[in-house]
Amino acid sequence: MDPLKRIGFSKGLQFFLREAINYSSSFSEGMSLGILLPELRLRFAPNSELLMSWWEDVDYGPKYELQRAVKKEKKAADKNTKDEEFGSWDPYSKVKPYLQLKVFIGLYIPFLAWVAYNHLAGSWPGSGGPIALALFAAIVGVPIYHIAAPLWLLQPGYSHPGWVNLECPECGHIGKPGQDAKGYAENFGQFLWDRVMFAKCPKCQLKFEIANMSQFWWPYVDEPHPGKKYGDSSKIRVKPKVPFRFGSFILMKKEGFSSSHYELIKVVPATAILLGVPWYFGKLDLIFLVLVITVCFNLFVWRHEAFVGFREAVIKQLKEMGILRKNYVMRWWEELIINFIFILITIPLLWVAGNIDVVW
């Protein structure tokens, strides 16, 4: 039975629909408007894709599936952002835009100042003039942008925002490491993310806020709501005492503050001893050469996937000798010391192999 007649359309309307179908089907191959009579589906079909249908087994096309997926994602995002304090924030997930460019500018300006100073002071009489120096500075800027700036952002100081113990502005309760009288962990502190953080005193239950004390050039976006700064003006906002952090270095760690930074008060004397003693004996160039070889060994041998078995064998042997505890994960500088020892052992062996006739 004719589907149009089965639904109850009049003869005039049946004739009009059939003529519209015939006309639209011959109008264009890519843009055709037709009603499939056996299933009575309205079709607007570029490239024969079904976009809209009306009948019992509804079959939506890719356009409507995409719209439904977008609406679903928006609803999920709205649910996540309903949380006033955390929103849809996920740590270490979103990097700030143009951060590499900002770091490049910060590193490149001192280099340009050094070049300009040497030119004005006459330290480079045979440099070829300002044009040659400008070309030299432009060429050096390429590795600074593509190598120095990314390496700066990969420092250990940017792998952890830092933790500070808090002091309640109302009752004076101070956070401390360890456990409280009930045996619970004393966690009255806060991570120093790049945003205003909230806190709640465990003693008097006061809710207050921690000002943004993030590190200079912190690479991640930590705001809980995209495009909106978090903060509540009705709450007390405090600024904990945090040392100035630049890269992976701080002057000295203060009580109640912990991070993965290196203290300059310890690093500077150690560096002066390590470099000053070889310089005094005229062996500074040799030390630099050994350090460069050690770093190359660490990158291209110790950490290379082709030498994983060698690395595991060395670590296993150190554990059997009692130097390392079982299930101990070495820090990067401990691995570098092991690599340095390997290089010191290898250099005499290579010298003996290259001068075997002298040895004999």
pLDDT at 178: 61
- The neighbour count for residue 213, using CB atoms within 10 Å, is 19
Q: Name the CA dihedral angle for 211, 213, 217, 218, rounded to a multiple of 10 degrees.
A: -90
> 245 burial class (0-12, 13-18, 19+ CB within 10 angstroms)?
buried
Does 269 fall in a domain?
Answer: no
**Domain assignment of residue 288, yes or no:** yes
**How many domains does the structure of the chain reveal?**
3
Residue 109 falls inside a structural domain: yes
Specify which residues 36 forms β-bridges with: 41
**Under 8 Å between Cβ of 186 and 180:** yes
Q: For the sheet with 249-250, list strands across it.
A: 245-246, 249-250, 262-263
Q: Does 106 map to a domain?
A: yes
Given 64, 85, 110, the domain boundary residue is 64
Q: For the chain, how many residues are written?
A: 360
Domain boundary residue, one of 136, 154, 172: 154
In which domain, by residue range, is 134 found? 99-154
Query: Within a domain: residue 253?
Result: no
- How large is the C-alpha radius of gyration of the chain? 34
Question: For the chain, what is the HEC assignment?
Answer: CCHHHHHCCCHHHHHHHHHHHHHHHHHCCCCCEEEECCCCEEEECHHHCCCCCCCCCCCCCHHHHHHHHHHHHHHHHHHHHCCCCCCCCCCCCCECCCHHHHHHHHHHHHHHHHHHHHHHHCCCCCCCCHHHHHHHHHHHHHHHHHHHHHHHHCCHHHCCCCEEECECCCCCCECCCCECCCCCECCCEEECCCCCEEEECCCCCCEEEECCCCCCCCCECCCCECCECCCCCCCCEECCCCCCEECCEECCCCCCEECCCEEHHHHHHHHHHHHHHHHHCCCHHHHHHHHHHHHHHHHHHHCCHHHHHHHHHHHHHHHHCCCCCCCCCCCHHHHHHHHHHHHHHHHHHHHHHHCHHHHC
Residues of the chain scoring pLDDT < 50:
3-4, 6-7, 23-61, 63
Residues 88 and 81: their CA atoms lie apart, in Å, by 5
pLDDT at 109: 92
In-domain check, residue 172: no
Whether the pTM exceeds 0.75: the reply is no
Q: Are the C-beta atoms of 229 and 223 separated by less than 8 Å? A: yes
Q: Which of 18, 49, 64 is the last residue of a domain?
A: 64
Are 318 and 329 in contact by the 8 Å Cβ rule? The answer is no
**189 assigned to some structural domain:** no
Beta-carbon contacts of 48 under 8 Å, excluding residues fewer than 6 positions away, are: none
Both structure tokens of 186:
């004393």
Q: Which residue has the tokens 């050094």?
A: 114
Indicate whether 82 belongs to any domain: no
Q: Which residues pair with 159 in a beta bridge?
A: none
pLDDT at 83 (0 to 100)? 67
User: What is the b/e burial string over 67-86, where b = at least 16 CB atoms within 10 angstroms of the residue's CB?
Assistant: eeeeeeeeeeeeeebeeeee
Phi, psi dihedral angles at 324 (to 5 degrees) = -115, 145
What integer pLDDT is reported at residue 105 of this predicted model? Answer: 92
Q: How far is the first Cα of the chain from the last one, in angstroms, to the nearest whole number? A: 109
